Amino acid sequence: MNRLFAALAGLALLAAPALAATCKDEVAAAFEKQRKTNSFRMVTNMVSAEGPVQMTVDYILPNKMHQTIKALTNPNPAETILVFDRAWTNEGKGWTSAPPELADQLSKEISETVLEPPSKFIDYACLGRVAVDGKEYFAYRAQEDTREKIPGAPQADPPLRLLYVDPETGLPARNVAALKGREDKPFFKTVYAYPKDIKIEPPTDAAPGPRAAKPPR
């Protein structure tokens, strides 16, 4: 591009009206709106090496979380609670106070995955309004990341990653991943809900847990 063309292109951008939001912008706005909610719930069903797993996470922003993981092969759910700077775990034998290191780790994860926008936001394509289970949503398909390809090696079709946004609230409603041609049977599905009655409190019967590791002298 020569200098004259670059200068004219720059002037054209300055003179042009503001561009409409892109699909990527619309998805970013939905998650930004979610970050501003007081509380929300994520129910994720996925297929792991151990079989089907369901994970339910309640959030009260900015620093309360209750996570429950249920595996088909284990009748006892694994639970974790975070309240401010303290955490507790329950592996099916009662609540135990967790070490401060776990509370710090959970707080950091919430900050990075929920409270702060991602540093690198992937692109999305708009799919328009679609009906899922009798309700309409705005649908978006994540554009595939550039992956290193080995010359001559067969390349499997990457899974489709789809996000559904509630057109009435503007909030994320569903997030799924499925193999191409099997969109009706996703191997990963998250459903978001926004109940007003979520409560997360410290367990009243928690046993003392391990103490924090002492720093080396």
- Residue 47 confidence (pLDDT) above 90: no
Across the range 13-42, mean pLDDT stands at 80
pLDDT at residue number 121:
77
User: How far is Cα 80 from Cα 59, in angstroms, rounded to an integer?
Assistant: 12
Q: Which residue has the tokens 């979380």?
A: 65
Chain segment 79-109, per-residue pLDDT in tens: 999 999 999 999 988 999 999 999 999 999 9
Instruction: Compare 120 and 14 and report the one with higher pLDDT.
Output: 120
- Residue 166 confidence (pLDDT) above 60: yes
- Residue 27 confidence (pLDDT) above 70: yes
Q: What would the 3-class secondary structure string for 176-215 be? A: EEECCCCCCCCCEEEEEECCCCCCCCCCCCCECCCCCCCC
The pTM (predicted TM-score) of the whole model is 0.80
User: How far is Cα 138 from Cα 149, in angstroms, rounded to an integer?
Assistant: 32
- Give the whole-number percent of the chain exceeding pLDDT 90: 63
- Give the whole-number percent of the chain exceeding pLDDT 70: 80
Using alpha carbons only, how large is the chain's radius of gyration in Å? Answer: 22
What's the whole-number average pLDDT of the chain?
A: 84
pLDDT at residue number 169:
97
Q: Are strands 64-71 and 95-97 parallel, antiparallel or unpaired?
A: unpaired
List the domain boundaries for the chain.
Answer: 23-145+157-193
CATH level 2 (architecture), domain 23-145+157-193:
Clam (2.50)
